[in-house]
């Protein structure tokens, strides 16, 4: 007999009442389509158009196509499920997995925040899918607030898992009381089966993160830090389950569930400590007050206010301190049409200041800079990488010892006792304490330095400083106050035309000599305006020049080595003609003599690198214990400092700061300085140098002490476990103690260093 098929959907008809339809729904739809304007549907179907039956909706596959709508670069991605340095290793290798999409990826472990710089034409959805294939859940976020909310949600989920594990562990222990009390017969079997049933959700629900981490590591060919722990959990569970099945009554469910609870508790505690110790990404938010308005709003500001946005002056005028950008210590006058930037301080207003909001929040120049700085501070140091290598080797050593011990105990006829000892060994020797404490130390060091006015862009500088014996210093603005002065008669000796040309040459330069000339002309001749100079250019270490009325004018170090000062010249017929020579007065910083004596006593060799003449440098420094290298170009300075520490102006010494093993910028605009130097001082003077050097020594001592504590703990724990003096449950209790010890050691000792 031939089966009848439904006229609408084509399914077999089983209802004898409906005849040509499989269900009343199909019958109703058929009548509607045939009687209306949709009868063409069945002709199209008959002619071969395929209407494929929809399959079940998959709830396990996420669609990341909406990521392609994002234009952000770098992408800010919250990674759910990250917890250890193996995760860091894996996620920072995204450029190897996606070379056409990803330029670089840096993870902030404390906030589970991945920063990914993408290449032109990158498929952002592919980045998300790759991260998901690693075993994590990526969340694209728009700002720090979004990351904070996701982190809070994950903390809540971890806390729920911890609560479930604790409840199950408590109930399994209740089931174990009758077993330890000697109950026999049917009741003994009931309590054993109940213990097994309660252990199942403890292992496979509360402990699922161990499975996920190990699976991700295996998938991506890295040895997971949770491997020995998961192995111990599975051996204990299946051994106990097998004992229940065959009735040998040799169970570890109470120890197993307690182990999972204690492991989750320790990880939750360590993650919260790590989060609370993280360096705040808004490290300079004191410069940036909050703003709730919109672009285009008008703001009236008063003396003492700090500007909260980037904007344009629409009325009034003010003297504004914007030294954090320009490096100019004196306030500058801003008038209608001028741009002002978030973080600048209003010193004095003429008749009230009104600005129109151009950019706000994270779009401001200051916040863009801070974001770049925040990304830079996440780079891992050599010591962190060394720690990770050691942790990986330790894991392999533990597995080899465990395998050897298992074989030895089995062949010796102590299989049951040997299993307990091996389980204790696998649990107690987790190297995560050292691996997680190392970035914590650098984070605490960065926070402590910031509290003392030192901004650390590159944590690697703390390691490099330990191998430095030669300290190189710039002169103007570094060893001296940089507040150069001219005789008033020097400016008055110039005619208005030359004053106007000098204003145009110096108004865009950040060199201390240029700023001094500009400031003095403004004070002596406030009515003079800058001349229309074209083709203006500044050559670092040489001077500034530009054309006025077709004639080249410029400022430069005097070409005659016998004469001191800065030459103002004009060039005619290919020859430079001197118009005037400026000689400057400066003053050595008060703290320099005592500081140099202290550095000398510590074994450092001190050098001065300057573009000035030798006589000028000697007259400024007197009899200080420092070797002077004069008449140097920026390139020559850079050659000197390759194996030393350079302390200088972030603008004029940028090449030397980049080439030095450690670069400390103590003068100039924050943006320019931090681009070239690994360290920037927020306070004037050189008192930050010994503070930074002392912190680098303290960091190394704390790291080494953590290494000794962690290694000694694991060695002692392994010895006690293999000798039978430590049960698996005791190992679970003691394992977090190692991490807690190094964390507490790090926090206490680094807090002392920041005082």
- Give the residue with greater pLDDT, 754 vs 544: 544
| Six-digit token string for 570 | 């004009």
Q: Contact 569/544 with Cβ under 8 angstroms?
A: no
| Higher-confidence position of 738 and 752 | 738
Q: What pLDDT is recorded for position 54?
A: 38
Q: Residue 338 pLDDT more than 80?
A: yes
Cα–Cα distance, 284 to 278 (Å, whole number):
15
Q: What is the CATH number of domain 289-363?
A: 2.70.150.10
pLDDT higher than 60, residue 243:
yes
pLDDT band at 279 (very low <50, low <70, confident <90, very high): very low
Digit-coded pLDDT (tens) for 573-590 = 888 888 888 877 777 888
Q: What is the pLDDT of residue 606?
A: 92
Q: What is the rounded distance in angstroms from the CA atom of residue 413 to the CA atom of residue 448?
A: 57
Which residues 6+ apart lie within 8 Å of 526 measured at CB?
Answer: none
Confidence of residue 507 (pLDDT cuts 50, 70, 90): confident
pLDDT of residue 60: 43
Per-residue pLDDT, 674: 67
* Residue 346 parent element (H or E): strand 345-359
Residue 379 pLDDT: 62
Residue 335 CA to residue 355 CA, distance in Å, equals 10
- Please check the confidence at residue 607 and state whether its pLDDT lies above 60: yes
Burial (0-12, 13-18, 19+ Cβ within 10 Å), 500: buried
- The full set of domain ranges for the chain reads 1-53, 65-142, 289-363, 488-582
Q: What is the DSSP letter of 479?
A: I
Note the pLDDT tens digit of each residue in 442-489: 878 887 888 787 888 778 888 888 889 999 998 877 887 766 777 666
Please, which residues bridge with residue 606 across strands?
A: 471
**pLDDT tens digit string along 366-422?**
776 666 666 555 566 677 677 767 766 777 788 788 888 888 888 888 877 787 788
Q: Which two tokens stand for residue 485?
A: 């002065």
Q: Is 100 exposed, middle or buried (0-12, 13-18, 19+ CB in 10 A)?
A: exposed
The pLDDT of residue 283: 47
Please tell me the predicted confidence (pLDDT) of residue 85. 57
Confidence band of 12 (pLDDT split at 50, 70, 90) = low
What local confidence, expressed as pLDDT, does residue 471 receive?
92
Enter the pTM of the model.
Answer: 0.61
Q: What is the predicted pLDDT for the residue at 604? A: 92
pLDDT score for 692: 92
Q: Which residue has the higher pLDDT, 386 or 41?
A: 386
- Give pLDDT, residue 59: 38
Average pLDDT of the residues of the chain: 77
Domain 65-142 has CATH 3.30.70.100: yes
The CA angle 508-514-520, to the nearest 5 degrees, is: 110
pLDDT in tens, 706-751: 888 888 888 888 888 888 888 776 776 677 677 778 877 888 888 7
Per-residue pLDDT reduced to its tens digit, 50-76: 444 433 433 344 677 778 777 777 788
* pLDDT at residue 281, as a whole number: 45
Asked if domains 289-363 and 488-582 share a fold, the reply is no
Enumerate residues 6+ apart whose C-beta is below 8 A from 513: 476, 484, 555, 566, 582, 584
Q: For 267-284, what is the mean pLDDT? A: 58
Q: Is the pLDDT of residue 424 over 60?
A: yes
Report pLDDT for 353: 83
Q: What is the pLDDT of residue 89?
A: 64
pLDDT band at residue 645, thresholds of 50, 70 and 90?
A: very high
- The first and second tokens of residue 289, run together, are 């007050």
Give the CATH architecture of domain 488-582. 3-Layer(aba) Sandwich (3.40)
Average pLDDT over residues 582-602: 84
Residues 6 or more apart whose Cβ sits within 8 Å of residue 477: 512, 649, 666, 667, 668
Q: Of how many residues is the chain composed?
A: 755
């Amino acid at each position: 007999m031939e089966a009848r098929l439904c006229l609408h959907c084509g399914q077999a008809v089983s209802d004898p009442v409906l005849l040509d339809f499989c269900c009343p729904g199909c019958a109703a739809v058929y009548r509607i389509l045939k009687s209306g304007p949709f009868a063409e549907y069945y002709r199209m179907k008959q002619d071969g158009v395929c209407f494929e039956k929809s399959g079940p909706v998959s709830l396990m596959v996420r669609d990341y196509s909406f990521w392609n709508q994002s234009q952000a670069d770098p992408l800010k991605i919250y990674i759910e499920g990250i917890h250890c340095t193996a995760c860091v290793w894996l996620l920072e290798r995204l450029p190897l997995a996606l070379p056409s999409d990803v330029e670089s990826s840096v993870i902030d472990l404390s906030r589970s925040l991945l920063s990914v710089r993408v290449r032109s034409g990158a498929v952002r959805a592919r980045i998300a899918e790759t991260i998901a294939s690693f075993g994590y859940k990526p969340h694209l976020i728009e700002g720090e607030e979004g990351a904070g909310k996701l982190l809070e949600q994950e903390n809540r989920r971890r806390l729920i898992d911890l609560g479930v594990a604790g409840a199950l562990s408590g109930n399994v222990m209740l089931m174990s009381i009758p077993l330890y009390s000697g109950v026999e017969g049917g009741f003994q079997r009931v309590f054993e089966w109940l213990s097994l049933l309660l252990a199942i959700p403890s292992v496979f629900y509360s402990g699922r993160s161990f499975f996920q981490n190990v699976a991700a590591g295996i998938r991506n060919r890295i040895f997971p830090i949770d491997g020995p722990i998961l192995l111990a959990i599975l051996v204990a569970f299946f051994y106990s389950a097998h004992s229940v099945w065959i009735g040998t009554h040799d169970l570890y469910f109470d120890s197993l569930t307690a182990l999972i609870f204690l492991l989750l508790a320790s990880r939750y505690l360590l993650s919260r400590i790590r989060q609370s110790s993280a360096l705040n990404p808004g490290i300079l938010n004191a410069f940036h007050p909050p703003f709730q308005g919109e672009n285009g709003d008008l703001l009236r500001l008063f003396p003492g206010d700090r500007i909260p946005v980037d904007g344009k002056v629409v009325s009034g005028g003010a003297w504004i301190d914007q030294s954090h950008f320009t490096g100019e210590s004196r306030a500058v006058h801003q008038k209608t049409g001028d741009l002002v930037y978030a973080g600048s301080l209003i010193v004095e207003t003429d008749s009230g200041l009104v600005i129109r909001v151009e950019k706000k929040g994270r779009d401001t120049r200051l916040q863009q800079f801070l974001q770049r700085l925040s990304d830079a501070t996440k780079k891992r140091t050599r010591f962190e990488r060394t720690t990770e290598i050691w942790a990986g080797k330790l894991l392999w050593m533990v597995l080899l010892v465990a395998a050897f011990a298992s074989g030895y105990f089995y062949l010796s006829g102590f299989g049951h006792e040997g299993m307990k000892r091996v389980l204790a060994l696998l649990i107690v020797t987790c190297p995560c304490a050292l691996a997680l404490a190392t970035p914590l130390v650098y984070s605490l060091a960065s926070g402590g330095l910031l509290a003392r006015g030192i901004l650390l862009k590159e944590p690697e500088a703390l390691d490099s400083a330990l191998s430095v014996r030669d300290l190189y210093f710039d002169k103007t603005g570094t060893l001296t106050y940089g507040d150069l002065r001219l005789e008033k008669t020097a400016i008055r000796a110039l005619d208005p035309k030359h004053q106007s040309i000098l204003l145009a040459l110096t108004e865009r330069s950040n060199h201390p000599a240029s700023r001094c000339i500009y400031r003095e002309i403004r004070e002596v001749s406030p009515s003079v305006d800058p001349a229309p100079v074209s083709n203006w250019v500044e050559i670092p270490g040489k001077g500034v020049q530009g054309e006025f009325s077709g004639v080249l004018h410029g400022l430069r170090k005097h070409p005659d080595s016998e004469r001191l000062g800065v030459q103002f010249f004009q060039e005619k017929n290919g020859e430079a003609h001197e118009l005037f020579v400026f000689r400057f007065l400066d003053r050595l910083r008060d703290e320099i003599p005592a500081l140099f004596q202290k550095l000398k006593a510590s074994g450092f060799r001190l050098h001065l690198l300057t573009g000035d003449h030798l006589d000028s440098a000697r007259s400024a420094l007197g009899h200080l214990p420092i070797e002077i290298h004069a008449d140097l170009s920026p390139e020559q300075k850079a050659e000197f400092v390759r194996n030393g520490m350079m302390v200088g102006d972030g603008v004029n010494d940028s090449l030397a700061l980049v080439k030095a093993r450690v670069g400390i910028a103590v003068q100039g605009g924050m943006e320019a300085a931090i681009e070239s130097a690994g360290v920037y001082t927020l306070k004037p003077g050189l008192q930050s140098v010994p503070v930074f050097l002392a912190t680098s020594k303290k960091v190394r001592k704390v790291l080494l002490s953590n290494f000794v504590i962690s290694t000694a703990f694991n060695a002692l724990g392994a010895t006690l476990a293999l000798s039978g003096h430590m049960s698996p449950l005791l190992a679970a209790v003691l394992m977090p103690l190692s991490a807690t010890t190094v964390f507490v050691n790090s926090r206490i000792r680094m807090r002392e260093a920041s005082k």
